[in-house]
A and B are shown apart, each in its own frame.
Chain A
Amino acid sequence: MNTAKPFSLLILGSVMSFGLIGCKKMHTGVTPIPSAQRSAPEVGIPSGPVGGNPGGQDIGAGNRFPGGIDPNASNLATDIDGNTPLGPRDIEGNYILDREAFADQTVYFEFDSSVVSPDQKPKLEAVVARLQTDPAFHLKVEGHCDERGTDEYNRALGERRALSIREYLIAMGISADRISTISYGEDKPALFGSDELSWAKNRRGEFVLLIPKN
């Protein structure tokens, strides 16, 4: 899969859902994600503030669904550049954090790059498959770097890596509000050496599966 494909799918789907929601104030190019979860119940147009307001409402405000939970679709709209906002992160207390679930799915990156290379894609497919078994699962993506960047540049690069992985998962059908990101920059290396092997193992994205406690 090349990188252009998921985004064209996104845009296509977005155009379709745009018509459904019909918000008159929405900016051109601000496209809600068509992430009606495959496993989520079909409830049609959500009730609540939007349904009760015939005049329509700006979904860009982010307050459309109190509590941030949209029963039908993520309210995290992908912008014209392809960036998808992050959802609330203070949910972790309600979940068991399973670091082993995707221990074999760690994604590795080239030097100073946040592009997910084709040989890493099967790992993302495995992650998607698992997430689709239970719509209550959430996912945390951790971005890491090797030591050959400066500390704060690497903190931003690690986040960019985690976000790139997240974008692929969204394009593969996972709702944006199920995936959070964190960057550790170069502060949590997998290996402590200063050699090519260590660097290659440290430029990575790791997954933590969040399983509801109840």
Chain B
Amino acid sequence: MRALFLALLLTIPLQVRAQQEIVIDKTATATRVIPIALNGFTGEVASTLKFDLEVLGFEIVDSSKAQYNVTGTTTAHVEGRLIDQVTKASLFAKRYNASTRRAETHALANDIVSQLRQIPGIAHTKIAFKGQTGAQTEIYVADYDGSNATPITSDGALVAAPGWGPNGSILAYTSYRSGYPDIYVQDLSGKREIIAKYPGLNTSAAISPDGKWVAMILSKDGSPDLYVCRIDGSSLKRLTKTRAVDATPCWSPDGKTICFVSDSRGASGLFLISPDGSGMRKLRTVGSGKPTEPDWSPDGTQIVFTSQWRQFVICVVPAAGGEVTTLVDGEAPSWAPNSRTVIFSKRKQGRRLLSLLDVPTKRIKDIPQSLAGSSQPSWAK
């Protein structure tokens, strides 16, 4: 026994040191799957912690194979200690105090992620999506892992395309409650207003990062075009005038550019335009099928989108345009606030479900399904 322990002490540090020497630059660190062990956790705490870490590209392994070890208890409150298996140093030890075990576990996961990935945790964040129960659809808000899913509409009508305002305080979405697709803006207390109910199509609302403006697709002037208005629906301005399909706008994090899809100018593609309507230009997406549904990463560096070519594939392209990186099968991607994780939807045997993608490692984690169908996710940021 003692001999085995000594052997482990000798071999593991050497192995890990060798790995650390190879891994030098930050990109390589980001793409590396981190082996981690969890000890002392049970039940919901154990499963929640496992899920939270796997989403961020950790692999839960036996202690003997782990680079880091999390030890803890789940008695009165969640306690956790993060240990570097190489140095045996304790990186932190905390006891969490929140209203639920689940919240305490998410806080522990966030601490581990920020310590080992050098990015803010996302385990406490919220998502919105289009949820389906039977023939009905409503807009739902849930924790990022799908738990605590709650409908925020009760329109009994077709709804679609939720998009968050800054700080997760308000949501814009489309509802056919009036018989036609209108754009609503709703705060989470339930108060809502219709901000666009023009003749024809009103959809694909995207709230600007400062919360003051909404980009959207309207057809009132005879073709689906891109428009911007204030958050209360005033000061409507038409940005594009095409006879083609314009669709799915999103904002750059600095609010200075809108990225959207257009079929104008021949082949369809992603376009960039200023919110004042100037400077429309095509974004180069080399190696992509037909791109739709762009979402700009919060750090401004990348745009994730759905490439449409017989099937749906999630891709990323640098925000300046260029070579496309193909990630996984899926559609409707939305970045997490960490600019690393993406939520998307996929179709499985006629059903829609949500999944989480760790972009650098391309690992995916399906969100447990509580409804008949879930699609069009938007991550609060």
Q: How distant is the Cα of A114 from the Cα of B242 in the complex, in angstroms?
A: 14
19 contacts between A and B (CB under 8 A): A82-B243, A83-B223, A86-B222, A87-B199, A89-B180, A89-B200, A92-B179, A148-B310, A150-B292, A151-B332, A155-B161, A156-B246, A157-B245, A159-B201, A160-B244, A163-B219, A183-B200, A187-B160, A188-B158
Complex contacts, B161 vs chain A, CB 8 Å: 151-152, 155
Q: A160 contacts which of B160, B245, B290, B312 (Cβ < 8 Å)? A: B245
Complex contacts, A194 vs chain B, CB 8 Å: 350
Instruction: Determine if A79 is an interface residue (Cβ-Cβ < 8 Å).
Output: yes
Complex contacts, B350 vs chain A, CB 8 Å: 192, 194
Interchain CB contact under 8 A, A83 and B224: no
Instruction: Determine if B248 is an interface residue (Cβ-Cβ < 8 Å).
Output: yes
B-contact 0/1 string along A173-189, CB 8 Å cutoff? 00000001111110110
Complex contacts, A88 vs chain B, CB 8 Å: 199
Interface of A is mostly: loop
Instruction: Determine if A51 is an interface residue (Cβ-Cβ < 8 Å).
Output: no
Q: How distant is the Cα of A79 from the Cα of B240 in the complex, in angstroms?
A: 13
Closest A residue by C-beta to B243: A81
Q: How distant is the Cα of A182 from the Cα of B178 in the complex, in angstroms?
A: 12
Interchain CB contact under 8 A, B243 and A181: no
Complex contacts, A151 vs chain B, CB 8 Å: 160-161, 331-332, 375-376
**Centre residue among B204, B224, B306, B308 by max chain A CB count within 10 A:** B224
In whole Å, how far is B338's beta carbon from the nearest beta carbon of chain A? 24
Q: How distant is the Cα of A89 from the Cα of B247 in the complex, in angstroms?
A: 22
Complex contacts, A182 vs chain B, CB 8 Å: 179-181, 200-201
Q: How distant is the Cα of A155 from the Cα of B200 in the complex, in angstroms?
A: 11
Complex contacts, B181 vs chain A, CB 8 Å: 155, 182-183
Instruction: Determine if A75 is an interface residue (Cβ-Cβ < 8 Å).
Output: no
Within 8 A of B (CB), among A81-101: 81-89, 92
Q: B222 contacts which of A84, A155, A188 (Cβ < 8 Å)? A: A84
**Centre residue among B181, B219, B308, B312 by max chain A CB count within 10 A:** B219
Within 8 A of A (CB), among B201-250: 201, 203-204, 217, 219-224, 241-248
Instruction: Determine if B261 is an interface residue (Cβ-Cβ < 8 Å).
Output: yes
**Interface residue count on the A side (C-beta < 8 Å):** 37
* Known pairs A89-B180, A150-B331, A151-B376; A183 contacts B242 (CB<8 A): no
Complex contacts, B290 vs chain A, CB 8 Å: 112
Interchain CB contact under 8 A, B243 and A86: no
Instruction: Determine if A78 is an interface residue (Cβ-Cβ < 8 Å).
Output: yes
In whole Å, how far is B207's beta carbon from the nearest beta carbon of chain A? 15
Q: B247 contacts which of A83, A85, A86, A152 (Cβ < 8 Å)? A: A152
A-contact 0/1 string along B87-126, CB 8 Å cutoff? 0000000000000000000000000000000000000000
Q: How distant is the Cα of A24 from the Cα of B306 in the complex, in angstroms?
A: 47
Interchain CB contact under 8 A, B204 and A187: no
Closest B residue by C-beta to A184: B158
Interchain CB contact under 8 A, B293 and A85: no
Closest 6 CB pairs of A and B: A83-B222, A86-B199, A156-B247, A159-B201, A156-B224, A153-B292
B-contact 0/1 string along A112-132, CB 8 Å cutoff? 101000000000000000000
Q: How distant is the Cα of A92 from the Cα of B179 in the complex, in angstroms?
A: 10
B-contact 0/1 string along A192-204, CB 8 Å cutoff? 1010000000000
Interchain CB contact under 8 A, A150 and B293: yes
Q: How distant is the Cα of A198 from the Cα of B247 in the complex, in angstroms?
A: 25
In whole Å, how far is B294's beta carbon from the nearest beta carbon of chain A? 11
Closest B residue by C-beta to A167: B222
